[in-house]
Amino acid sequence: MQRVQLSTIDFSIYFANRQSAQQALDFHHQTQQTLTQQFQQLQQDHQLQQEQIAQKQTELQEGTKRLEQLRVSCQENRQEITHWQTVHDQQDQSIWQIQSGLKALNDAKEKFAGNMTRLDERKASVQQEYDTLISRMLEQYELTRSEAVQQAKPLEDSVQAQRDLTIIKNQVRSLGSVNLESVEEYQAVSERYRFLSEQMQDAATSKQELEQLIADLTQEMCRLFTESFAKINRNFRQIFRELFDGGDANLLLTDPEHVLESGIEIQVAPPGKVIKNLISLSGGEQTFVAIAIYFAILKLRPAPFCILDEIDAALDEGNVRKYAQYLSHFVDTTQFILVTHRRSAMEEANVLYGVTMQEDGISKLLRMEQDTFESLTEPGLVPHAERQE
């Protein structure tokens, strides 16, 4: 038998729970996308913090090197001062010895006193110039006297040397000052990195839990759909045989491996007919097939209230009566309202509601109980009913 897709049969009542589950699944997918975006943002922040940590570590290393150089220079300066202090002490000691040993030579001392004074003044001036030069060399070039002597070279062109000196000064100035807060900044960046790492781990864990929840929910949906579809198929086969007085019918999934995305095919074989396509059925038979499917769903999940609007329009009177009588199988759980113009359906109803026009231009609502309806079964006494409960 030819399989065809079920596209026009209304399964809205049965699949209400399926749609609700699908909405929950969509919500979980949206939540997963949000967590994925947050996880990507955390990765970007993590990369930025890594770059900042590397930069701060470089600055810290440069500052440490500069501090070490300053410490070495300071030690050398102290040694230089100690050396000259020793020299000064030795000279004072020599002067004291000379003064002690030359008491007899007071005249010569007085003669040379002026010269000594001038020499002392000159010495102090030279010492001051020397100290100034050493301090300037240390402050501007971070060089001690000994280092300067080792690195000194003869100048062949003083103008070019002055230009080179200006360029070097500009380069030193562009290096900027030592950042003494590098350690504190490194600690702050490390703390931020640790916090972001924990957040990223939490996001990854949440993602795994959400994916597991979605997988479990999908598996449960597949199980419920498969079980319900099997029950509907059994009900459809039974009801089809009862309505058609025989034959066979079946509902098949086009993709059994993926039931939630699968289509549904209808296979029917009325008694005495070989059907290759549902189009080969008459309009009444196609309607009867649709009614059988609806009754199969209603049997699995009864609804407390149901309105059937002109679904018997394509049926002949015999099938209308069969369809109306079959509704009695569900009256214990479902209350039906039939909108119909068919006499056979009206005869099976408990209460009739209709609109009559006993006077021209004046419509009137008519309500009739089943007992009253049976008493008016003689030809010409049954009113034209449009609604039936």
Categorize the per-residue pLDDT at 381 as very low, low, confident or very high, splitting at 50, 70 and 90.
Answer: very low
Token representation of residue 343: 């006499």
CA 137 vs. chain centroid, Å, equals 61
Residue 244: how many other CB atoms lie within 10 Å: 22
**pLDDT score recorded for residue 179:** 66
d(CA 193, CA 240): 69
Per-residue pLDDT reduced to its tens digit, 6-55:
444 545 555 566 677 777 778 878 888 888 888 888 888 888 888 888 88
d(CA 75, CA 71): 6
Please indicate whether residue 204 or residue 23 has the higher confidence score (pLDDT).
Answer: 204
Mean pLDDT, to the nearest integer, of 187-207? 91
d(CA 268, CA 275): 7
Q: Max alpha carbon distance in the chain (Å)? A: 176
What letter represents residue 122's amino acid?
Answer: R
pTM of the entire structure? 0.46
Distances in whole angstroms, Cα of residue 52 to Cα of each of 37, 55, 131, 199, 248: 23, 5, 43, 19, 75
pLDDT at residue 322 greater than cutoff 50: yes
What letter represents residue 112's amino acid?
Answer: F
If we measure between CA atoms, which residue out of 1, 9, 51 comes closest to residue 263? 9
Mean pLDDT, to the nearest integer, of 63-69? 82
Please indicate whether residue 161 or residue 241 has the higher confidence score (pLDDT).
Answer: 241
Per-residue pLDDT reduced to its tens digit, 86-117:
887 887 787 777 666 666 667 766 767 777 88
Q: What is the DSSP letter of 129?
A: H
End-to-end distance of the chain based on CA atoms, in angstroms? 38
Phi (first) and psi of residue 267, to 5 degrees: -120, 120
Categorize the per-residue pLDDT at 210 as very low, low, confident or very high, splitting at 50, 70 and 90.
Answer: very high
Q: Is 178 exposed, middle or buried (0-12, 13-18, 19+ CB in 10 A)?
A: middle
d(CA 13, CA 377): 36
**pLDDT score recorded for residue 201:** 92
Mean pLDDT, to the nearest integer, of 58-83? 82
Categorize the per-residue pLDDT at 151 as very low, low, confident or very high, splitting at 50, 70 and 90.
Answer: confident
If we measure between CA atoms, which residue out of 388, 236, 235 comes closest to residue 320? 388
What letter represents residue 18's amino acid?
Answer: R
d(CA 45, CA 49): 6
Q: What is the mean pLDDT of the chain?
A: 80
Token representation of residue 247: 């034959």
Distances in whole angstroms, Cα of residue 328 to Cα of each of 324, 350, 373: 8, 11, 18
Categorize the per-residue pLDDT at 196 as very low, low, confident or very high, splitting at 50, 70 and 90.
Answer: very high
